[in-house]
Every structure is written in C-alpha cells, then in structure tokens.
Amino acid sequence: MGGRPRGRLRVYLGAAPGVGKTYAMLSEARRARERGRDVVVGLVETHGRARTAALLEGLELLPRRTVTYRGVTLTELDSDAVIERAPALVLIDELAHTNAPGSRNAKRWQDVEEILHAGIDVVSTVNVQHLESLNDVVEEITGVPQRETVPDEVVRRADQIELVDMSPEALRRRLAHGNVYGPEQVDAALANYFRVGNLTALRELALLWAADKVDEQLGRYRSDHAIAGTWEARERVVVALAGGPEGDTLVRRAARIAARSKGADLLAVHITSADGLISGGDPADLVRQRALVEDLGGTYHQVIGDDVPRALLEFARGVNATQLVLGASRRRRLLMRGVGVTTTALSGAIDVHMVPHETTGGRYRQRSGAALTRTRRLSGWALALAGMPLLTAVLRPAGLTLPSEILLFLLLVVAVALAGGTWPALTAAVAGFGLLNWFFTPPVHTLTIGRPENLLALVIFVLVAAMVSTVVDLAARRSREAARSRADAEVLATLAGHVLRGESALPSLLARMRETFGLTAVTLLERGPTPGEPGPPGRDGESSEDGEVLKDGGLSEGGREPSEGRGESSEGGGESSERGGESFASWGAVGAGEWRVVATSGGLPATRPGLADTDVVIDDRLVLAARGRLLEASDRRVLEAFAAEAAVALRQQRLREAADRAGPLAEADRMRTALLAAVGHDLRTPLASAKAAVDSLRSTDVTWSDQDRTELLATADESLIKLNRLISNLLDMSRLQAGVLGVKLEPVAIEDVLPHALDDLGPLRDRLASDIPPELPEISADPALLERVLVNLVANAVRHSPDGERVLVRASRYGEHVEIRVIDRGPGIPAEAHERVFLPFQRLGDRDNHTGVGLGLALSRGLTEAMGGTLVPEDTPGGGLTMTISLRRAP
C-alpha cells in the first residue's frame, strides 16, 4: 500500500437529519459501481428507513468490529478490515461519530484518515450541527447539545463537498410521512428539534459554511491560475484608512455599502509605506478605527507598500474585492492628486467610491525606492540645469570679485543638494566649476587658470559641494531607514494584536504575513525525525502530523450526479487556504528526514526548502517558506521575527495538547488520592458505631433489656447500611473513573425499581412520596444502577429538606425519553453552582464534615450517563431543588 497515493475524501453535508445525505451517498456508490469501480460499504446507518436500506442491496458489506464496554456490546467501523480489503471506494457514514472506549481512535474521522493514507477513496456524511465551530451556535438555536463533533479542518480538507439541501417545509413533510422517524416519534420531533425556525436557521448555517468553502476554492483557483482580475462572486468592500479623523466616516460609509448586499464582507486596509504612511495623522485614530471596523463585523489589515495605489489595488484584488472606498477632502488634502487619480485609473473592474470629508489628518504619499522622492530629485535637476545658467547671466554684469562669485555658486549647489540629493548637486558643482572658470576666472573665455590660488578656490568649491550633497543624501537615507523601522514596528504590533485578541495563532500569523508582504503563499515546514531522533510530541505520546500538501477539489450542488467526464470529484477549487494546528497522521507516513507542511496560507505551498522564493531557517527542523516575490533585506528581517513567533506558536500549541492529555490523568490521580483520604475518616465512623453496638451486645458484664438490645441492633444495622452504601459509592466511582463499570441495559419499569430503592433508604423511606403514572412506558436502564441513583438522590434531598417536608419522586414521558424528578423543598442552590455540585467531594453549603465524602451526586450523574441518560438540576417552583433523570424509552 505504500506506493498508492493518498485517497480522496468526499463528504455529503446536510443541515439536519433526514435531508438525504446517506441516500445520496448510496446512490453515488451505485453509479460508481456501474462505472466499474470496486465499491464496498464500510459502515452505513439506515436508521430503519426502508428506501435507504433498499439501496444497500447488491453492495458488498464489510463486517463491523464489535466492542464490549461496561457490559454492552457495540459495533464500530473495522478500519483494519477496510485497509486489508483495499477497495477503490468505501462508504463510511456519520463522520463525526465517537468510537466506543477502547478503540484505537477516539473518533471515526481518525479512522477515515488512516484509510485515506492507505490510498482508498472515502465517501462520508456529516450534519452541520456536528461541525466544531458551529456546535455552540446550533445548541443555542435548537436547545439540544451536540456531544459528537468533528473539527472543521477535517471537513474542509475534503477533496469534494456536496451540500444536500432541502427546504424546511419539505423536510417536515418527509418527517410527517414517516420517512425519517417512526410514527411514535413524529409528533415530538415536529414540536421540538424540527420546528420551521430551527430548520431554517440550520439551513442558513449549512449554506453559509458551504459558501465559505466555495470561496476558499475560488481563491485557490485564481491564485493557481494567476488570475488578477476581480470575479464578482461575492461582494467585498475594502476601505482605505490613512490615519486621520476622516477614517471613521469612511468606515461607516463602507459598512453601509456592505450592508446592502447579504453576506458581504467588510475589510479595512492601512498601507504602511517605507518612509511612513501618515503625514500629520494620529496613530490613535487608527486604533479607534480598527476597533470600529471590528465592531461592525469587518477585519483590519496592514500592508507594506511604497507605491500606495498599487499596494492598495494588489490587496483589493488579492481578496477579490468588488468595491473600494477612498477618502477625498473638499480641501484636497486627504489624498495627493496622484494617489486618487492613479487608484481610479488602475482599478479595473473594482468600483471606486471617493467619499468627500471636511477634516483630514492623514495623507498618502507615493514613494520610490530611492532615498529622496522622485519629485525632489526632479526639482533638484531642474534647479541645477536652469539655475546655473541663470546665475551666470546675473553675475556677469555685476562685476563681483571671484571669491564672492564662488560663494554664490556654492550657495546654489547647496540648494540643489537639499532639493535633489547627490547626483544633481554633483552635476551642478561640475557645471559651476566650468562656468566659473570660463566666465569669471582670468583669463576669461579660456580653460586656463592663471593664478594658483584661483585653482585652489575652484577645487575647494567642488569638494565642498560634493560633501554637502553627500551629507544631505545620507540624512535622507537615515530618515528613510528610521521611518521603515517605525513601519516594521507598526506591522509587528498589529500582528501581535491579532494573536492577542484570540485569533488562531498559526493561521493568523501566516495569513497576516502573506497580506503584509504581498506574497502568494506562506508555509511553515517541519523536517521529520531521522532514525534514532525523537519526533515532536503528538497525541498519546506519538509524533504528530500537522498537515500535508494540499490537493485540488471541488464542491458541487447537493444531490446532483457529477458528469461522467468528471469522475468522482469536481474540477478546480481547492482546500482551505489557511491551515494549521491539529494533526491527522503519523510521522511514519512522512518518512525519516522528509519535510511536511505544518501550516500554510495562500496558494500552492512549497513542500520543501528550496522551492520557495524566500526560505527563513528557524531551527534544525523548522523552515518558513515564502512564495510570490524576492524580499529585500529589511523585509526579510521582519519576516524572520514573524517566523520565530510562528515557531513559538507551534510549540505552545503542542504544549497545550500535551497538557490536555495530561489533564485526565491528573484528575484520575486526584480522584484516587481523595478516595484514600476519604476512607481514613468516613469509613471509620460507621464501622466504629457498628463495632461498639456489637461489642456491647456480646458483653457479659451488663444485662441488657429487650428494648436496649433492639436499639443496639438498630444502631448496628443503620451503621452497616451506611457503611455498605459508602463502600459501594467508592467502588463504583473508582470503576467509573477507570471505565470498567459494567452496565447491562434492559427494559425496566420504574414502579419495579422504586420499592427496592425505598428498602435501601432505611428509616428515610417514611419521608418519601411518589407519583408514578401506571401507563408510563418502560425505560432502557440497568436496574441495579438506577436503584443506586435513586437512593443517592433521595437521601441527598431528604438531608436538605426541612423537618416535616416530604420528598416527591415523580415520573413522566417526554418524547422518546422518560424523566424522573426528585423534588425537595430545601434551601436549593444558586444557578451558578448547579454544575459544581456534581464534582466529587463537594458538599455545597455543608458545615458538617462528618456527613459523607460528597460522592452521591457525582456518582449519580456518572451512573446515569453510563446508562445513556442525563442528570440535571433545576429550581423547584416555590423553593427547593429538583433533580431530573432523563432516560431513553425502551424499544
């Protein structure tokens, strides 16, 4: 398999269950088989849908892998069997699925990565609510948390994404006809998750996410094919900020222009030239305007460019902008005429809006690569060429002495040097030497100099002129270097601000580098470890792979069959233009000493040093490769600073990953330590009480009455019940932490479990009342574990209830679940502490340290979740706390 190229991934994306993702996947598989491809089914979930199951007929089904977890037998994808079978194409449903504990990989998408690395093409499905970046948004919309997620980057890396779209009304009709769920689930689904508002919002999320993917592919295609023109596929409004107070007006005007088009992007750009962008502007204005742009939903960018119009248009074309907003002062002081006119003349298909404003504080200036501007150099030449003859004509009839004439010519040369720099001044000095010699030095009208002192004076005149012009040029260069250093500092400060505001470190750094220096691609490369050399830390102590060379791919419309000429994926497009971070493969797939892409931004990345225009070596393993143009030495110094920060960001990311892996281990160790500490006191108390009662009964020194014997036996019995409950809690919590607690799910009637729980409560049973409807359906649970949960919750409720108040246990059906509520009238707990009470060894509000180790609620939630349910606290109307257990109805 080592010689096979990496397989291609195709993902069917849907807005909600039931839109037809699996159906579209199976339909494509059947078409591929008809074209002669070797197609197998790795894992497909039909969810009891007859039309979907019918499409499986005739397709080869690979056996699933069985996993036993807590006494429950589960089936999972057998990735090893898929790799061994080595088909051309395999179908794997539900990309975001979480594998059963004990599996080699925690997530199904990791299994898919292994299959892709084996050279096998994969077709999979995913719903928009399972995308990691949208998880919290979907929960806020639907009220249903999604615990199974897949990183967006995994889906974005797919070679092809097909959006399977369906209107909310059509999906609800499918649901009502029984094509999605069984008849008993339809009413609850329509009234909850599948409401029209929910489905409309989910559909919009799916469409926008797919549109972003298409936009990335379009940008990649334009970059790969060197397309500089603007394609108005999406409105993007760029506003140029010069650093004056007029910028606020420009930003708001650009935001209004963007708001006229649904989904338009707003981008603000600040061009930093080599000698400083702003003339008379205030840097505080830029800080305020950047915050305003971000408040309006836009992004702020900073670009270095000496030719302001060209740098501005290069940025606009690079982001595929459709409209450009510039400021134009009514006093004609915001932009020099050349900048505004040149930008408009070169804008091409980009619409340019010139927004007039009274007050201006910034002014763009076009600069060349020389120390002095082109205007100053031209004025210097003009002064030299016109001033020397004019001065000669004025001095000839004046009759001044030669020293006075030399001083006046020297004054003119100094003026030329101040205006135009070295070369105009040297030219003026040589011309002045000739004119003084010919017209003013005896004998006149000859090149002969009669007196030695006159020759010395003329030579000194030339030397002084040369020195003055050199000093002026050197001062101009120093001023330019200082301004360049200031510009570099501004760029670094802007970049650091983006990272500090929470942007993903590596993608942010690389994207800002690419924009700042006008590059086509910036890539962070890492060399694989040589034999005997450890790799960088990754998951589970292994080396990590943060990326590979990007592949082309496409996105087609949902449910539509690609044409025969296109094969299994669409042409053009590309993957995410900004990647970095999470690992997807092992170093073994890369090879010892080979280079791999850790993160990249822009077009086609360089896959090894030497393929880029500029390589910056960070250390023995890391190299930053930049494509697009050769960088000057001053640019390279700033790029080296960026590269060092990128290396730090990569190391910090890997340290965070290592810390995340160490967290559960530390928590388990803390749990074990706390368990041992708890045993020392909490086990000793009931054990001592029981032992004292038994010793008293066995004593022959005292004659006990029947009543005394009964009380001593009751004390021993109560202490042993408490001891048994405590030991059971400790053991079960330890098993939960270790993941070895056996769970046997079966149909259970609540009215059968509750009496056993009452027996375990002992004397506390008298303070309990129940309300269990006789028509309540059975639930899927482990009877013994459910009994333990009820005992712990009721005991906790009784302990916190006022004397004389009874604890109520009530049950009701809610959709496909049955909810059991344990209701007390105690003091309750504040909303911010609802989750804290489920931490082990927490007894919220207790002042008595002898009432137990605080495991009851933590254990109850752990046992409930082990049975596939949830346990959440709620405030009891009128005061108190209600603990709600939600378990799935038995089939």
CA dihedral 331, 337, 340, 341 (to 10 degrees): 130
Mean pLDDT for all residues in the chain: 76
Q: Which of 370-374, 659-663, 853-857 has the highest mean pLDDT?
A: 659-663
pLDDT range class, residue 140, cuts 50, 70, 90 = confident
Residue 860: predicted pLDDT: 83
Residue 357: predicted pLDDT: 66
Regarding beta strands 160-164 and 9-14, do their DSSP bridges make them parallel or antiparallel, or are they unpaired?
Answer: parallel
Is residue 352 within 8 Å of residue 345, measured between CB atoms? no
* Interval 288-346: pLDDT, tens: 888 888 888 888 887 777 677 888 888 888 777 888 988 875 444 434 445 667 777 77
d(CA 208, CA 197): 17
Residue 685 token pair: 């108390």
Per the model's pLDDT, the better-predicted residue between 371 and 776 turns out to be 776
CA dihedral 416, 421, 426, 427 (to 10 degrees): -70
Task: Report phi then psi at 240, rounded to 5.
Answer: -90, 130
Q: Give the other-Cβ count within 10 Å of 509's Cβ.
A: 29
* Interval 55-79: pLDDT, tens: 988 899 999 988 877 777 888 999 9
d(CA 519, CA 573): 20
The yes-or-no verdict on residue 31 having pLDDT over 50 is yes
Residue 245: is the preceding peptide bond cis (ω within 30°)? no
Smallest Cα–Cα separation from 352: which of 362, 361, 342? 342
Give the lowest-confidence range in 90-99, 332-341, 348-357, 389-398.
332-341
Smallest Cα–Cα separation from 258: which of 282, 293, 231? 293
Q: How many CA atoms lie within 13 A of 149 on its CB side?
A: 16
Per the model's pLDDT, the better-predicted residue between 686 and 771 turns out to be 771
- Mean pLDDT across the stretch 737-760? 78
d(CA 728, CA 32): 57
Smallest Cα–Cα separation from 497: which of 481, 486, 482, 508? 508
* Interval 533-574: pLDDT, tens: 555 544 444 433 333 333 333 333 333 333 333 333 333 333
Q: Give the other-Cβ count within 10 Å of 460's Cβ.
A: 12
Residue found by looking up tokens 């302001």 in the block? 308
Residue 112 token pair: 């898919």
* Interval 466-483: pLDDT, tens: 887 788 777 777 776 676
The yes-or-no verdict on residue 34 having pLDDT over 80 is yes
Q: Burial level of 598, CB count in 10 A (0-12/13-18/19+)?
A: buried
Is residue 212 within 8 Å of residue 220, measured between CB atoms? no
- Mean pLDDT across the stretch 112-127? 93
pLDDT range class, residue 82, cuts 50, 70, 90 = very high
Residue found by looking up tokens 């009220």 in the block? 143
Residue 579: predicted pLDDT: 41
Residue 474 token pair: 């050197």
The yes-or-no verdict on residue 820 having pLDDT over 70 is yes
The yes-or-no verdict on residue 675 having pLDDT over 60 is no
Task: Report phi then psi at 748, rounded to 5.
Answer: -135, 135
What pTM value is reported for the model?
0.39
Residue 763: predicted pLDDT: 73
